[in-house]
Structure 1
Amino acid sequence: MLTKEDIVDQLGRLNIANKVVCFHSSFKSFGDVQGGPQTIIDAFLESGCTLVCPTFFYSAQTYPARINYLNNGIDYESVPEMCSVNYMGATSQIEPSMGVIAKMLLGIEYTTRTKHPTNSFAIAGKDKALLLANQSPFNVYSAYKAIYSENLPALVILAGVDFESCTPIHYAEELAGKSLFRRWAVQNGQVVEVEEGSCSDGFESLRPYVNKIESEIKIGDSLVRVYNFHCLVDTIAEAIVRDPSITHCGIENCHRCNDMVRGGRNKA
Structure 2
Amino acid sequence: MAYISYLDLPKHWGLERGDRVLLTSDIMQLMFTTMRNGERFDRDAFLDAILGVIGEEGTLLIPTFNWDFCHGVAFDYHKTPCKTGALGGFALSRPDFRRTQHPLYSFAVAGKDQQLLCDMQNVSSFGVDSPFGYLEKNHGKNVIIGIHYTDCFTFVHHCEEVCGVDTYRFSKTFTGQYIDAEGQESTRSYSMLVRSYELYEATDLTLIGEKMERAGVAHVIVLNEIPYRIVDLTAAAPVICDDIKNNSSRGICKHKLQ
TM-score range, shorter chain: 0.7 to 0.9
TM-score, length of structure 1 as denominator length:
0.73
Partner of 1:144: 132
Contact 1:114 1:135 in 2 (8 A): no
Contact 2:7 2:46 in 1 (8 A): no
What is the root-mean-square deviation in Å for CA atoms of aligned residues?
2.7
Contact 1:26 1:99 in 2 (8 A): yes
Relative distance call for 1:167 and 1:248 in structure 2 (3 A) is closer
Partner of 2:174: 183
Partner of 1:216: 220
Contact 2:63 2:108 in 1 (8 A): yes
Contact 2:139 2:235 in 1 (8 A): no
* Whole-Å separation in 1 of the counterparts to 2:7 and 2:69: 40
Q: Which deviates further from its counterpart, 190-199 or 234-243?
A: 190-199
Contact 1:27 1:37 in 2 (8 A): no
Relative distance call for 1:44 and 1:123 in structure 2 (3 A) is same
Partner of 2:18: 18
TM-score, length of structure 2 as denominator length:
0.76
* Whole-Å separation in 2 of the counterparts to 1:168 and 1:249: 14
Which runs of no fewer than 5 residues in structure 2 stay unpaired? Answer: 35-39, 180-184, 196-201
Partner of 1:99: 85
Aligned to 2:94, the other structure's residue is in SS state: coil
Aligned to 2:16, the other structure's residue is in SS state: coil
Give the number of aligned pairs: 227
Relative distance call for 1:122 and 1:194 in structure 2 (3 A) is same
AA in 1 matched with 2:21: V
Q: How does 1:32-47 map to 2 (within 5 A)?
A: 32-33=33-34, 34-47=40-53
1:139 Cα deviation after fit: 5.3
Contact 2:126 2:133 in 1 (8 A): no
1:233 to 232, 237, 247: 237
- 1:131-178 Cα offsets, whole Å, 9 max, x none, are 3344322354511222334xx232111111222311111111122223
1:204 Cα deviation after fit: 3.5
* Whole-Å separation in 2 of the counterparts to 1:42 and 1:224: 19
Contact 2:126 2:161 in 1 (8 A): no
Aligned to 2:121, the other structure's residue is in SS state: coil
Partner of 2:189: 193
Contact 1:26 1:161 in 2 (8 A): yes
Q: State yes or no: 1:115 paired with 2:101.
A: yes
1:223 Cα deviation after fit: 0.6
Q: State yes or no: 1:246 paired with 2:250.
A: yes
Relative distance call for 1:249 and 1:145 in structure 2 (3 A) is closer
1:59 Cα deviation after fit: 2.0
Partner of 2:62: 53
